[in-house]
Amino acid sequence: PAWGPHRLALLVPFRERFEELLAFVPYMHRFLSKKRIRHRIFILNQVDHFRFNRASLINVGFLESGNDTDYIAMHDVDLLPLNEHLDYSFPEAGPFHVASPELHPLYHYKTYVGGILLLTKQHYELCNGMSNRFWGWGREDDEFYRRIKGAGLQVRRPSGITTGYETFQHLHDPAWRKRDQKRIAAQKQEQFKVDREGGLNNVRYRVESRTDLSVAGAPCTVLNILLDCDTNETPWCTFG
């Protein structure tokens, strides 16, 4: 098949997991090229001293990805698709959750939209992106599920995939990479609220550097990103 008219921005939130990055970039470049999907891989490297903020990094990646891409994949760096029948094409009909609950090796609840999620840029803007209030690990994708529903969009998922929990390789080693799961001050209560104000419109950041690299022959762009935090609004962005 011919290469299509669309171009994917693969947005990869990242911090200090270089051994996973070295595996991810060449693997995904080969995987998408074999499927004739035009793409650019953006490594969204958080270099400030705040806690990790996956959602804000994705917002920054969206804003910095350029006009030559028309859809995005929010893509965890530790998740590799093993089944070549997985669909990474332009999700015209609505958000397409590649790492669906019945296929993901770890997360199986029905409202899960994390791991790998495709959206057109128009649909991501319709949701006002993701909430910037989630510092530390988890919950930002659960809030984004509510945004998708609030925007009147329907999440679609793969069909006809028979490889079950063997559909993806999960690179993460919890003994080696501890997740920041602490809940500080009012964070525990806040994480279950829908952020009706913030998102793409108020993400605060600076791109310290932008570097085009080749990893084992596979091209990617690394953005070193300094996020900013209003400690009055989200005091849990630091450990105190």
Q: What is the DSSP string of 172-240?
A: --TTTS-------TTHHHHTTS--SS-SGGG--EEEEEEEEEEETTEEEEEEEEEE---TTT-GGGS--
| In-domain check, residue 86 | yes
| In-domain check, residue 200 | yes
Look up the CATH number of the domain holding residue 88: 3.90.550.10
| In-domain check, residue 25 | yes
| In-domain check, residue 54 | yes
The number of CA neighbours under 13 Å toward the Cβ of 208 is 11
Q: How many domains does the chain have?
A: 1
Contacts for 56 with CB less than 8 Å, ≥ 6 apart: 130, 132, 203, 205, 227
| In-domain check, residue 150 | yes
| In-domain check, residue 2 | no
pLDDT at 18: 84
Residue-wise pLDDT tens digits, 55-112: 999 999 999 999 999 999 999 998 999 999 999 999 999 999 999 999 998 878 899 9
Residue-wise pLDDT tens digits, 99-130: 999 999 887 889 999 999 999 999 999 999 99
| In-domain check, residue 59 | yes
| Domain of 164, in residue numbers | 7-237
Beta bridge partners of 66: none
From the list 81, 66, 74, 46, the residue with the least C-alpha distance to 205 is: 46
| In-domain check, residue 42 | yes
